[in-house]
Every structure is written in C-alpha cells, then in structure tokens.
Amino acid sequence: MKNKYMFGGGIIVVFLGIMIYLFTQTSVQYEGSFDRIMQSGKTFKATGSWIKERNYEIDKQSKTFSFYMADENGNTMKVMYHGTMPNNFESSTSVVVTGKYHDGVFHATDILTKCPSKYQEQPMQKANS
C-alpha cells in the first residue's frame, strides 16, 4: 500500500517538474522596436507594417514567403516565413510576426495581419427632405 503512494507521488513530482520546465522555455517577449530583437537570439513577437515599396517574394521551390517590415521608429527588417502568404496580407494595416532573428533575417514561425475594419463608423449623410 505504501509503495502505491510513493509511486503516485513520484509521478506527480515528475509531472510538475516537466510543466515548470516547459513553462519557462515557452516565454515569448513582445517588442515594438527592432533594435532589441536584432541583438537577442530569443523568440519575439514583433509589430510593424509591411513596406509596400519593397514588395514581397514568394519562392515556390523552397515554399517561403519573405517581405520587409518597418517598426514604429522606421527601422526595417527582412522577414522570412516558411509557409504561404497570409490571406489578407496585401490589404493589412499592420503585421505581427513571431520568431527569431539570426543571419540578418527575422525567421517567422507565425504571421498575423490586421486589416482595416469594415465596421468603422462612417460619416452620416443628411437626407434631403
């Protein structure tokens, strides 16, 4: 009977240890400026806007999508995403990318786009009577 309790307690301790380790390893930091992202090898969420003048590139051979984005300070960074271009990318007002910066490129694992809202308040026109 005592062995059952020791075995069960051991499983709980191992499970809690694994959960704590995984929780500390998955911390993603949010950064609005690219300066800190370029100096660190950690995973970040970066916010900016697509630089439309520099266009985007789709490489069907390696299945990558790349573009340049600018932060709120005007700093630019090349973003490489292994996957397809997000649906509303061309009409987006801002972009949030998650990933790591290395070798001069931000390697994104996820891209979120913010598109202009069709629910924004429109100016009311007066009806002529």
Q: pLDDT tens digit string along 12-52?
A: 999 998 888 877 665 666 666 777 777 777 788 888 888 88
Helix (H, G, I), strand (E, B) or coil at 109: strand
Give the number of domains in the chain: 1
Whether residue 120 lies inside any domain: the answer is: no
Which pLDDT score, from 0 to 100, does residue 120 have? 58
Integer Cα distance of 41 and 86 in angstroms: 25
Domain ranges, residue 35 = 24-114
Whether residue 34 lies inside any domain: the answer is: yes
Q: Which residues, including other chains, have CB under 8 Å from residue 119's CB and lie 6 or more apart?
A: none
Whether residue 17 lies inside any domain: the answer is: no
Whether residue 5 lies inside any domain: the answer is: no
Integer Cα distance of 1 and 4 in angstroms: 5
**59 token code pair:** 């490489």
Residue 80 has pLDDT above 90, yes or no: yes
User: Do residues 105 and 99 touch, judged by C-beta distance below 8 A?
Assistant: no
Give the CATH number for residue 106.
Answer: 2.40.50.140
Give Dmax over CA atoms of the chain in angstroms: 89
Whether residue 90 lies inside any domain: the answer is: yes
Whether residue 32 lies inside any domain: the answer is: yes
Residue with tokens 């390697």: 107
Whether residue 128 lies inside any domain: the answer is: no
